[in-house]
Amino acid sequence: MTPKKKLESRKSPSRKPWSGRFRSPTDPDVEAFTSSIEVDRRLYLHDIAGSLAHCLTLERAGLLTLREATRLAKGLKQVKREIADGRFRFAPGQEDIHMAIESRLTEIVGEVGGKLHTGRSRNDQVSLDLRLYLRDALGDLIARLRKFQQSLVTVARRELGTVMPGYTHLQRAQPVLFAHHLLAYVEMAERDKGRLRDALTRMNVLPLGSGALAGTNYPMDRAYTARLLNFPAISENSLDAVSDRDFVVETLAALSLIMVHASRLSEELVLWSSEEFGFVELPDAVCTGSSMMPHKKNPDVPELIRGKTGRVYGHLVSLLTILKGLPLTYNRDLQEDKSAVFDALDTVQASIGMLIKTVEGLTVQRQALAAAASSGFLLATELADYLVLKG
């Protein structure tokens, strides 16, 4: 089989759309420092979807002929195929995914490729791309949380008659059902899904048409664009639209709370699987051994989930710190939002996936739980209540 050939730009990567007012080229070290292509290349599907909608809007406004719009649409779809099958080469000098796609599109369709950016800035374009991406990503995460809930409910149903000690201050307090304990995490996940849906309502606003900051003079039908991209609302203030990253902060806050809950369950699994508790046994598939102590079975997966929680918190604090001192409107500082939210999303998706595997393979030690619930005067409260009611 012939290996796929990487498609490389024939144009100099140093040539930028904005380079006309500069007398000397950008320093290569500066290019490397300012480039975000390694991070934002994952936006390519959403960038192309936004460009296809913008292309149709330009044609509707009479700024593109039908022939030009058709040519651009075909070119964009070709770029999408090239990236998807790995033939697209991202050149080091390309600043971001938007310029990479536009450069290749112009190679394919010729000068008409330059018309696609009419009435659009990278400022409103990146805001659109990020909203589209997060809209899909949060939908995927909600589905994964639902699967996590199902795994907990499955074990809870299996253990309906299993009694365990309930704890306060990590001291045995009152007997509860093991199923009841697991279902507490189902409730937490339900709130997590609600927060993600809530974030989606404010995220689901079309920023395109805001231009760099002051809108556009072209007769763009923003309502038409919104319908094409399935946005129920349109941004009303162009200054806010291009600089707003509240929706990213809200996403990171929701992700942080998901990790709070994942970490709490992980901590309990670490405790319960220890010889000191012996309440559960974790599946071998999610544990590792020791290079020195052959008897060890280490709960690495829940420990790592517990550890990665701080990583997600860090991304939230990082973005809040970036945003706190930014004047209106767009500032390059905002480039840092994507690495934060992308890594946080990847971490949470992976962590919930690992919890599903762990819960599904859990072995509950019913006798150990029953023995722990039967000692230590756990029914003292019920006895006192009985005496009070008896008078």
- State the catalytic residues: 169, 290
The whole-angstrom separation of Cα 335 and Cα 353 is 29
Bridge partners, residue 177, by sequence: 163
**Is there a contact between 69 and 59 (Cβ–Cβ < 8 Å)?**
yes
**Is there a contact between 199 and 257 (Cβ–Cβ < 8 Å)?**
no
End-to-end CA distance of the chain: 88
The whole-angstrom separation of Cα 17 and Cα 118 is 13
Q: Which helix (H) or strand (E) holds 281?
A: strand 280-281
**Is there a contact between 13 and 91 (Cβ–Cβ < 8 Å)?**
yes
CA dist list (Å): 106 to 21, 92, 212, 295 = 21, 18, 22, 63
Token pair for residue 278?
């012996």
Give the burial class of 330: count Cβ atoms within 10 A of its Cβ; 0-12 exposed, 13-18 middle, 19 or more buried.
buried
Q: How large is the angle between the packed helices 336-360 and 246-272, nearest 10 degrees?
A: 30
